[in-house]
Structure 1
Amino acid sequence: MSHAEQAPLKFAYWVPNVSGGLVTSTIEQRTDWGYDYNRKLAQLAEANGFEYALSQVRYIASYGAAYQHESTSFSLALLLATERLKVIAAVHPGLWQPGVLAKLISTADHLSGGRAAVNVVSGWFKDEFTKLGEPWLEHDERYRRTEEFIRVLREIWTSDHAEFRGDFYRLHDFDLKPKPVEVPGRPHPEIFQGGNSTAARRNGGRVSDWYFSNGKDYDGFAEQVQEVNGHAADAGRLGQVRFGLNGFLIARDSEREARETLHEIIAKADAVAVEGFRGAVQQAGSSTSDKRGMWADSSFDDLVQYNDGFRTQLIGTPEQIADRAIEYKRRGADLLLLGFLHYHEEVEYFGRHVLPIIREKEAELDARELSTSSTR
């Protein structure tokens, strides 16, 4: 697909439904994990160009997140507080039975007019499973379970006589009613899935609607897009997978001010929490057969933003950030998933100062692509 044929770049934001903000730092973060704050944030985001919001999933206190609201119920509350925003609830296979989740999301979809979605998270935090008495599978087995989980969701949402026989889940003549809302161009609620490992990339190509990447530079992101599309081609799904990229956005009137903010965030990092997080997550990469996975090559500074959001380098003036956003679009990004230091103010700043420049640059890119194609 040429860039001229692509849809406009979409934007999502991390819902701060867990305490501690989006960076593990003692720097001031004018954000709040409560519902009143998040209801207003969802409405601000909807009015400032955001099409999606992603509710985080944590079940117990960990690494700066002492308190957590459950993701599916919080997502439904945000759906009911907005008119157009699509809200993605993060969920864990192994802690959810897929048929029960399929029913919940179908109900949320009806209550919201077809705006519910899920992000299927294979899991990195062992204690969330073992402290609930659930088994902790090794890395690739967790992703194999995730693949079945996604296949079961899709089967239940699209079949009147759902059948599935796998190693983790089984269905026999199961009929969910009501099915999710019929939305043009959407066969069922959108299914997001992330990770950087070989197993995650394979799942992304074989079964997911969206593949989420942790923060990456240009080449790191483009390499994942290429590999996931290779798996999609093998599964007869080339062109059916879209790509989201995580980034922590620091937009300021000058590049110096933005860089000083980044420096302050890292200088004031909660070192104990960051090191604890690093110890927990880097086993995710080291436990794979090829030693490749999320956070496998992340530095201390990267992990201050716990999804490597600084690595995407959406830091600087609105013009500089727009240039990077367009370059990521050229390399395959369909969506940027953003976090902020001060959500209310910075979401409005994004809508007022950054997004208009991105749209201008998209129009310029489209015009160049059309001109090039017409001279071939």
Structure 2
Amino acid sequence: MTDHPMQNANRFKLGVFSANADGGLTVTTVPERWPARWSEVVQAAQIADRAGIDFFLPIARWKGYGGELNSRQHSYETFTYAAALSGVTERIALFSTVHVPMVHPVFAAKALATVDQASNGRAGVNIVAGWNPDEFAMFGIDKVDAPYDQAGEWIDIITRLYAEDAPFDYEGTYYQLRGAATAPKPVRGTRPPVLNAAFSPPGRAFAAQHADFLFTTFKSIEAGRATIDDIAARSAQTGRQVGVYTTTHVVCRSSRAEAEDYYEHYAVTMADNAALDYMIGTQSANASNHDEETYRLRRKWFAGGAGTYPLIGTPEDIAEQMVEMSRAGFAGTTVSFVNFLNELPYFCEGVLPLLQRAGLRG
């Protein structure tokens, strides 16, 4: 069997992020905003697959942001989403994103192994603690005081379910199991790759202990070096190697002026401001996905791509910044767009050859 796509030879890996939700990462009212129709999601996944993009990563959302368009209310559940995409793609890694408190680990182990079997070994899981109290309320649960302690038990149970053939009992703070077992196992017999989406020190500590990759934000490429150094130090203490990925939103056009004008148009002029207020207010009060300065000064980033880093310009501009990310130590990044089907082909045709010439991709 070939290596998992996340273990391929590309020095700087790329993922397509959030195509499972309407609007993607944007909070905008432009008519061309991503509708997340299933047929178009399939087309976007196949474009990424044929182009050699390394992974397809969904967000996990249960409740919309209100405002004019209630962005994110329309979104696909991520295990079934990945399983469905496994039949229409060939090479790309297919991640599922899980809010730990909402999904029991025995179910998650079964679902993740199902995706891995269906995709012939291309599954992965992105672990998220969750930050929206309105989503927790939908499930009748309270936000956990120590979410990464619960996440640690959650992934330990899944790892044991794959490693052990005999049923076992588990006595934890958050889970008490009797006779836990699962089959089938993942294709390779071991746990598929684990991303942990986190920014805070507790999130980094969890990633160093349990994840294969930390998925994090930054306010500048240079500032991202501190996160990379921190996770390297934490990983050294746990005897593990954890790669650091970041996340971006992209406007790629033939001229920088055209890209900047469109960014201003969709992320400022046509922002869904009521939804944006809800998203920023709720996230800043309940999560640690960004530092305080980003929440305060980067409203355009949140309308443009949920607070992720903006890559705005020509293919050359975007490739140059990705080269800088690689030099800073990032193992890769995700990209998102206002409309994946309209914009992903130009990104692939324009940016990927430049990254190949720079020696970052095969």
Q: Is the CA contact (8 Å cut-off) linking 1:72 and 1:89 kept in structure 2? A: yes
Q: Which amino acid aligns with 1:326?
A: V
Name the CA distance, whole Å, in 2 between partners of 1:263 and 1:355. Answer: 25
Name the CA distance, whole Å, in 2 between partners of 1:85 and 1:126. Answer: 33
Structure-to-structure mapping, 1:1-376, within 5 angstroms: 7-63=10-66, 64-138=71-145, 141-161=146-166, 164-171=170-177, 174-182=180-188, 187-237=190-240, 240-265=241-266, 266-285=268-287, 293-294=289-290, 296-297=292-293, 298=295, 299-309=298-308, 311=309, 313-362=310-359
- In the superposition, relative to structure 1, how do residues 153 and 216 fare at CA in structure 2: closer, same or farther (>3 Å)? farther
1:27 deviation in Å?
2.4
Name the CA distance, whole Å, in 2 between partners of 1:50 and 1:194. Answer: 20
CA displacement 1:189-247 (0-9 Å, x = unmatched): 1111111111111111111111101253112221111111221111111xx21121100
Q: Which amino acid aligns with 2:185?
A: K
User: How high is the TM-score relative to the length of structure 1?
Assistant: 0.86
Instruction: For residue 292 of structure 2, give the secondary structure of its aligned residue in structure 1.
Output: coil
> Counterpart of 2:4?
none
CA displacement 1:94-131 (0-9 Å, x = unmatched): 11110111011112211110111111110011111122
Q: Is the CA contact (8 Å cut-off) linking 2:62 and 2:73 kept in structure 1? A: no
Identity %: 25
User: How high is the TM-score relative to the length of structure 2?
Assistant: 0.89
Q: Is the CA contact (8 Å cut-off) linking 1:105 and 1:117 kept in structure 2? A: yes
CA displacement 1:251-293 (0-9 Å, x = unmatched): 11111111111111222211111111111000135xxxxxx65
1:172 deviation in Å?
5.6
Structure 1: any 5+ residue segments left out of the alignment? 286-291, 367-376
Aligned residues: 346
Name the CA distance, whole Å, in 2 between partners of 1:23 and 1:172. Answer: 43
Instruction: For residue 133 of structure 1, give the secondary structure of its aligned residue in structure 2.
Output: coil
Instruction: For residue 314 of structure 1, give the secondary structure of its aligned residue in structure 2.
Output: strand
Q: Which amino acid aligns with 1:29?
A: E
Q: Is the CA contact (8 Å cut-off) linking 1:281 and 1:295 kept in structure 2? A: no
Instruction: For residue 101 of structure 2, give the secondary structure of its aligned residue in structure 1.
Output: coil
Instruction: For residue 87 of structure 1, give the secondary structure of its aligned residue in structure 2.
Output: strand
Q: Which amino acid aligns with 2:271?
A: A
- In the superposition, relative to structure 1, how do residues 66 and 10 fare at CA in structure 2: closer, same or farther (>3 Å)? same
Name the CA distance, whole Å, in 2 between partners of 1:103 and 1:78. Answer: 17
- In the superposition, relative to structure 1, how do residues 332 and 173 fare at CA in structure 2: closer, same or farther (>3 Å)? farther
1:171 deviation in Å?
4.6
1:30 deviation in Å?
4.9
Instruction: For residue 120 of structure 1, give the secondary structure of its aligned residue in structure 2.
Output: strand
Instruction: For residue 249 of structure 1, give the secondary structure of its aligned residue in structure 2.
Output: strand
Q: Which amino acid aligns with 1:91?
A: V
Name the CA distance, whole Å, in 2 between partners of 1:6 and 1:65. Answer: 34
Instruction: For residue 91 of structure 1, give the secondary structure of its aligned residue in structure 2.
Output: strand
Q: Which amino acid aligns with 1:209?
A: D
Instruction: For residue 333 of structure 2, give the secondary structure of its aligned residue in structure 1.
Output: strand
- In the superposition, relative to structure 1, how do residues 221 and 307 fare at CA in structure 2: closer, same or farther (>3 Å)? farther
> Counterpart of 2:3?
none
Instruction: For residue 119 of structure 1, give the secondary structure of its aligned residue in structure 2.
Output: strand
Instruction: For residue 247 of structure 1, give the secondary structure of its aligned residue in structure 2.
Output: strand
Q: Which amino acid aligns with 2:193?
A: E
Cα RMSD (Å): 2.2
Q: Which amino acid aligns with 1:270?
A: D
Name the CA distance, whole Å, in 2 between partners of 1:294 and 1:156. Answer: 34
